[in-house]
């Protein structure tokens, strides 16, 4: 164990290090595999005809599976043509923003984030204390190729999902509590299923700082426009992304505390 004095010194040193860090320094604790993915992951755009422009906001992320037929996972091509049929159909019009295939390949995007995809149907969930229904126009839908009732999802799918969800949480300020399965917002639905590993997803998202995460609240009064960015001085251009910097502070304090244990 380190003496109290050493700990105090280490915290001061940590703060000195912090003040000299470039503002763009990534969090110290990044998931190795995800980091590799970040450099290689791609999104392929195949536009679905099934969407609407009535989006209210991206407040939730909803995870689905594409299902199976007679014990066989539905093919990727089958799902794509279900969302983008060669021949227009006026019934069973369904779509989702993203599809993540089982095998290594680009994530497919079929509806823009700012548009409403048709994946949630009759659904309800409490968002910021208000019970909302029919969540299509408040959410981003992500399909995992597979059937979580029968088959495990692939390692690639977890990593791609973490990569994607992380981006969307940061982009739209979505807290982890509002990343949900279809089965939760529509109880009769089976997806993503009991074989979906929620702990694995949450672990992968642990470095995302969004509202609702267990990071101490920062001084709201400094965040004049509520976007989570504190301007040190309105007259200069230095911005501190508050959430990320707290992660760095914590990481550094942990690092130094660890050195003197």
Q: Where do contacts with Zn ion occur on this chain (CB under 5 A)?
A: 64, 182, 191
- Closest to Zn ion by CB, 64 vs 166, is 64
Task: Find the shortest distance in angstroms from Cβ 84 to Zn ion.
Answer: 17
55 or 182: whose CB is closer to Zn ion? 182
Minimum separation from the CB atom of position 218 to Zn ion (A): 36
What distance in Å separates the CA atoms of residue 25 and residue 39, rounded to the nearest whole number? 17
Query: In angstroms, rounded to a whole number, what is the distance separating the alpha carbons of residues 112 and 48?
Result: 9
Nearer to Zn ion by Cβ, of 109 and 207: the residue is 109
Select 31 or 182, whichever has its Cβ closest to Zn ion. Answer: 182
Q: How far apart are CA 239 and CA 253, in angstroms?
A: 22
Instruction: Classify residue 163 as exposed, middle or buried by CB count within 10 Å of its CB (0-12, 13-18, 19+).
Output: buried
First to last CA, the chain: 5
Pick the closest to residue 33 from 201, 179, 166, 163 (CA basis).
163
CA distance 188 to 186: 6
Choice between 190 and 241, CB closer to Zn ion: 190
Q: Smallest distance from the beta carbon of 98 to Zn ion, in angstroms?
A: 13
CB of 83 to Zn ion, least distance (A): 12
Q: Considering the complex, what minimum distance in angstroms separates the CB of residue 191 from Zn ion?
A: 4
């Amino acid at each position: 164990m380190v003496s109290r004095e050493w700990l105090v010194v280490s915290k001061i040193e940590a703060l000195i290090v912090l003040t000299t860090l470039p503002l763009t320094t990534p969090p110290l604790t990044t998931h190795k595999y995800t980091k590799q993915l970040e450099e290689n992951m791609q999104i392929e755009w195949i536009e679905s005809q099934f969407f609407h422009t009535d989006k209210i906001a991206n407040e939730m992320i909803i995870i689905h599976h594409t299902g199976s037929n007679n014990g066989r996972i539905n093919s990727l091509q089958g799902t794509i043509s279900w969302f983008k049929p060669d021949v227009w159909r006026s019934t069973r019009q369904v779509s989702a923003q993203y599809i993540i295939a089982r095998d290594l390949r680009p994530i497919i995007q079929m509806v823009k984030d700012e548009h409403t995809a048709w994946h949630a149907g009759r659904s309800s969930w409490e968002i910021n204390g208000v019970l909302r229904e029919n969540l299509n126009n408040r959410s981003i839908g992500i399909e995992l190729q597979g059937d979580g009732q029968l088959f495990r999802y692939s390692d690639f799918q977890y990593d791609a999902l973490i990569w994607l969800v992380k981006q969307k949480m940061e982009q739209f300020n979505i807290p982890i509590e509002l990343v949900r399965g279809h089965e939760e917002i529509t109880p009769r639905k089976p997806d993503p299923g009991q074989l979906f590993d929620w702990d694995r997803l949450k672990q992968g998202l642990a470095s995302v700082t969004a509202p609702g995460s267990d990071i101490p609240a920062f001084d709201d009064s400094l965040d004049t426009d509520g976007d989570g960015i504190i301007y040190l001085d309105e007259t200069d251009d230095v911005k501190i992304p508050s959430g990320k910097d707290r992660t760095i502070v914590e990481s550094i304090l942990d690092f130094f505390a660890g050195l003197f244990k």
